[in-house]
Amino acid sequence: MALSREAYRALEDIVGPENISEEPAILDSYAFQWLAETIRPGQSKFMPRPEAAVLPGSTAEVQAIVKTCNRYKIKVKPYSTGWYFYCAPQTEGVIQLDMRRMDRILEIDERNMFAVVEPYVIAATLQAEVMKLGLNCNVTGAGASCSLLASATSYHGAGPSSIFGGENNQNLLSLEWVMPNGDILRTGSLGSGLGWFCGEGPGPSLRGIVRGMLGAKGGLGVFTKCALKLSPWPGPAELPVEGTVPAYNSPLPDNFRAYSLAFPSWENYFEAYYKIYDNEIGYIAHRQFSMLGTELGTAFWMLYNDPTKTLDDIEEFTQKPEIKKLTEEMKIAFQIVLAGLTPRHLEYQEKVLDEILADTGGWKVAAMSQPAMERFTLLYLIRLGHKNLNFVYNGGWLGTFMQAGPPDYVKGYRHIAEEVTEPYQKKGLLVDCGVDAMMGPVGSMGGGGNCALEQFGYYDVADKESTDAVVSWTKDCVKGAIDKGFVPGKGSHYLAMGMTREQRQSSYASAPWLGMYRWQRKIKGIIDPNDIGDELYPTLDEPGK
């Protein structure tokens, strides 16, 4: 369903001929999306091809495009840096807005600790700039190469540093939003022309219709600018990077410590979470290195830090006695970075951490505290620049579970994730890296209190059976959670991408919380009357319509 020439010309007039394309090869580059093979017919690696790719350079252009889409009844899907396959069109007949031209840091207010960014500002860019001023941004779990605006407005904004730096939903101040009807809404203080410092009000906070728990993933207009609260950075103005590719590391400033903390049992492990919350320590706290599986992960990290080795050497590494021992030691472990805002602050945190470890029977893993690993851990967690490793085993990765809640809640589903995963790994359909390939934030919100574990399944994107298996595994993960009373978790969102509209409607209608889909239909009716957004803003149809 190609765009009408009239519509195309209208869009071309807005952005100029150099910023719009209908070339199939270009359009396919947008449709080629990670995870597409799990939901598309014939395990295609391509999501539906957009009708055109349009690159706006300003809010005015975005608004003009959205108004044009309303006029011609064309669906529009914005895409900044992307993550998963959510930013691709779900159906035919959609134009893709590629936001890469809107990549400016518009303002950094050092004293009041916030920055104003456009959609294509990635975390690494902002982080590098604000570190010069003694500030930091919360890099989300999607990593340093992802859009901060997207994390704050359109998807989940938690990351390893959220315990200290807040979740990006919490950090969101004023924003500018081209709503699907083409109107521009500026929230909070910005709406009155008073700057970006506050996202709430006047009166009821219209941030309430911006995102909710997981955002609309591009399904509800285009967010063109936002302000994000920053947090203190007590490190150097430039993060020194050393080491050999790919295992870059950063020398540890005197006021930083990076530890892997291990525990004798899961009970003790989660008890430590509670004590960390109550004692308010930690700059970054995350279960990270287990993401590659507790059987293979430790060997992987060791060989990754040996420039003479490749992935082919992993079996050899797993056989080394010291690696075997370390693998056992690291099974129930997470990573923590302590940063002293002052020298006394670090000293205090160290003492408290030692007491917490004494209380919980935990310990600092000595091998991970060696200078090389400590430096590696520090850079890894501060920058989150190693997201390519999610794909390292054989090109495919999918995460399930990740239901956020207090530690006692997460403890309740952890074993379900293992039980569901085991048969798939034993059959070789998923990488047999250990049934616990779970990672997640110790504190997914500012100050903690909430955490999560995401179970990774590594599949072979070139193998039909393995790809089928990861879908089946995802369904089992969802079912396993629901059967025990938990919400479906992250996997259900992936699976929903493969549903037809009818299937989605049926799923919403049977959900115990279906009221929210009705309210969202009403909200969509207000701001997207021509339905130019997509179904990632879920709504339940009125009966009979």
Partner 1 sequence: MAGEKERLIGIVGKEHVLEAPEVLEAYSRDQGFVRPMKPWFVVEPESAAEVQKIVKWANETQTPLVPVSSSPPRFRGDTVPSLPGSVIVDLSRMNRIIRIDRRNRMIIIEPGVTYRQLQPALAREDLRLSTPLLPRPAKSVIASLLEREPTLVPRYNWSMPEPLRCLEVVWGNGEMLRTGEAGQYGSLESQWELGLAQVNSTGPGQVDYYRLMSAAQGTLGIATWASIKCEVLPKVHRLFFIPSPRLEGLIDCAYRLLRLRLGDEFLLLNSSNLAAILGGGASQTRALREELPPWVIIIGVAGRAKLPEERVEYQENDIRDIVQQFGLKLVSAVPGAGERAVLEAVLNPSPEPYWKLNCKGGCQDIFFLTTLNRTPEFLRTMYSVAVDLRYPTPEIGVYLQPQHQGTVCHCEFSLPFNREDSREMARTRELLSRASEALIEQGAFFSRPYGIWADMVYRRDAGAAGILKKLKEMFDPNGVLNPGKLCF
**Segment 344 to 403, residues that bind partner 1, using CB under 8 A:** 344-345, 347-348, 351-352, 355-356
What separation in angstroms does the CA of 27 have from each of 413, 442, 528, 532? 41, 39, 25, 19
CB count in 10 Å sphere of residue 19: 17
Structure tokens at 191: 């709406």
Task: Compare residues 212 and 428 and give the one whose CB is closer to partner 1.
Answer: 212
Task: Compare residues 5 and 344 and give the one whose CB is closer to partner 1.
Answer: 344
Q: Can you tell me which of 361, 405, 423, 498 binds partner 1, judged by CB under 8 A?
A: 405
Task: Compare residues 261 and 445 and give the one whose CB is closer to partner 1.
Answer: 445
Q: What angle do CA 178, 182, 184 make, to 5 degrees?
A: 40
**Site residues for partner 1, window 209-228 (CB under 8 A)?**
209-216, 220
Does an H or E element contain 8, and which?
helix 5-15
Q: Can you tell me which of 19, 205, 268, 394 binds partner 1, judged by CB under 8 A?
A: 205
CB 344 within 8 A of CB 380: no
Cα–Cα dist 38/36, whole Å: 5
Say how many residues touch partner 1, by CB under 8 A: 93
522 is a contact residue toward partner 1 (CB under 8 A): yes
CB of 387 to partner 1, least distance (A): 24
Task: Kindly give, in sequence order, each residue whose CB lies less than 8 Å from that of residue 177, ignoring residues fewer than 6 positions away.
Answer: 153, 184, 185, 186, 187, 210, 221, 222, 223, 224
CB of 143 to partner 1, least distance (A): 22
Q: Can you tell me which of 342, 388, 503, 506 binds partner 1, judged by CB under 8 A?
A: 342
**Interface map 472-491 toward partner 1 (x if CB under 8 A):** -------------xxx----
The phi and psi torsions of 138 (rounded to 5 degrees) equal -80, 110
Cα–Cα dist 486/466, whole Å: 27
CA 527 to chain centre: 26
The residue among 417, 432, 431 whose CA lies nearest residue 266 is: 417
**Interface map 111-130 toward partner 1 (x if CB under 8 A):** xxxx----------------
Task: Compare residues 277 and 380 and give the one whose CB is closer to partner 1.
Answer: 277
Q: Can you tell me which of 367, 389, 499, 516 binds partner 1, judged by CB under 8 A?
A: 516
**Site residues for partner 1, window 28-87 (CB under 8 A)?**
none
Bridge partners of residue 32, in order along the sequence: 46
Task: Kindly give, in sequence order, each residue whose CB lies less than 8 Å from that of residue 67, ignoring residues fewer than 6 positions away.
Answer: 182
543 is a contact residue toward partner 1 (CB under 8 A): no
Task: Compare residues 145 and 181 and give the one whose CB is closer to partner 1.
Answer: 181
256 is a contact residue toward partner 1 (CB under 8 A): no
Task: Compare residues 139 and 536 and give the one whose CB is closer to partner 1.
Answer: 536
529 is a contact residue toward partner 1 (CB under 8 A): no
Structure tokens at 67: 């108004």
Compute the CA torsion angle 463, 468, 471, 475 (nearest 10 deg): -150
Task: Compare residues 17 and 512 and give the one whose CB is closer to partner 1.
Answer: 512
Bridge partners of residue 400, in order along the sequence: 455
**Site residues for partner 1, window 416-475 (CB under 8 A)?**
445-447, 449-450
CB count in 10 Å sphere of residue 328: 13
Beta pairing class for 231-232 and 75-79: unpaired
24 is a contact residue toward partner 1 (CB under 8 A): no
Structure tokens at 418: 């293992």
**Site residues for partner 1, window 139-168 (CB under 8 A)?**
166-167
Task: Compare residues 23 and 354 and give the one whose CB is closer to partner 1.
Answer: 354
CB 151 within 8 A of CB 384: no
CB of 391 to partner 1, least distance (A): 29
Task: Compare residues 426 and 522 and give the one whose CB is closer to partner 1.
Answer: 522
Query: What is the DSSP secondary structure assignment for residue 88, as one 8-state letter?
Result: S
Cα–Cα dist 442/211, whole Å: 23
**Site residues for partner 1, window 266-305 (CB under 8 A)?**
274-275, 277-280
CB of 272 to partner 1, least distance (A): 12
192 is a contact residue toward partner 1 (CB under 8 A): yes
CB of 484 to partner 1, least distance (A): 8
CB of 157 to partner 1, least distance (A): 10
Task: Compare residues 4 and 112 and give the one whose CB is closer to partner 1.
Answer: 112
CB of 490 to partner 1, least distance (A): 14
CB 382 within 8 A of CB 339: no
CB of 112 to partner 1, least distance (A): 5
Q: What single letter denotes the amino acid at residue 425?
A: Q
